[in-house]
Amino acid sequence: MIVDLHCHLLKEEGYLENLVREAKKLGLSKMCLNGLGELYDELGNEEVKEAFLKYPHLIIGFGHLRLGKDSVEKVDELRQAGFRGLKVINPTKNYDDKDFYPYYTQAEKHNMPILFHTGMVRRTDKDKSYDISCERMRPIYLDTIARAFPHLILIGAHLGGPWFREAADVLRFNPNVYFDITGSISGWARKTPDFFRNYLWWQGARDRIVFGSDVHFSQIKKIIANYQGVLEALKVDRATQNKIFGQTALGILNIKIK
């Protein structure tokens, strides 16, 4: 069983059908899908909604929430529309700014986990007009949020790279924080087992690492193989691997698969 907690709906002809076809071929049980819109050449919330309505047994919708731009009521609207979680990136202020607390209050109320982009983000020719700042997305800000909202589940993407130590310590101190190690083949695939051993050193650290792809559908197979290779090299037991690849995600989403 594999649950992919971090998928994007790209603006590419036939992308959804190709994504679903690949997911079935690889044996994925669930995929958490989000769409970030034009800045990253992706589709948006409406198309994601169409996707999870069309493929309800596979796709779970994570609504894109623009912190500092969308109204707080947007959280309620997304939940009412059937989205199970939220995806945030490129906030107008630091993630833990008190102005964002009303968003988190509503997410906690609706039991909607939030997938935070943490760390660096790729450049685009619209970065100036969108006021993009990676500094505002440092993983340390999740620590403040996790303490203030203990019943809200936070998922940090990419282990906060390049602030890996920061992300690892946030994970260690906060039981409601999880991280994925998603990224491109040219990025995470080059990290050695020693890299992960160095940062995720304490007992139980890997119990809150979750699987996500965050790549084009054509690369998901390689990403899965990369995860498996690293876990085998780290001698991670089969029970923990099962948690990473799906069981932990099902708990986050409060879903049971027979």
Which residues does 137 contact at the CB level (< 8 Å), separation at least 6? 89, 90, 91, 95, 116, 117, 118, 119, 121
Q: What is the pLDDT of residue 189?
A: 56
18 domain residue, yes or no: no
3 domain residue, yes or no: no
Longest dimension (CA), the chain: 48
52 domain residue, yes or no: no
147 domain residue, yes or no: yes
Q: What is the pLDDT of residue 184?
A: 62
196 domain residue, yes or no: yes
Inter-residue contact 137 to 117 (CB < 8 Å): yes
211 domain residue, yes or no: yes
Total domains in the fold of the chain: 1
Q: Would you say residue 22 has pLDDT above 70? A: yes
List pLDDT tens digits, range 137-191: 999 999 999 999 999 999 999 999 999 999 999 999 999 999 998 876 556 556 6
In which domain, by residue range, is 228 found?
A: 62-253
- C-alpha 243/C-alpha 207 separation (Å) is 7
Q: What is the pLDDT of residue 185?
A: 54
Q: How confident is the model at residue 226 (pLDDT cuts 50, 70, 90)?
A: confident
Q: How confident is the model at residue 93 (pLDDT cuts 50, 70, 90)?
A: very high
46 domain residue, yes or no: no
* E strands, the chain, in order: 2-8, 28-34, 59-64, 85-88, 114-117, 154-157, 177-180, 209-210
Average pLDDT over residues 121-129: 91
154 domain residue, yes or no: yes
Going 87 to 93 to 97 to 99, the CA torsion angle's sign is: negative
173: CATH:
3.20.20.140
- C-alpha 134/C-alpha 121 separation (Å) is 7
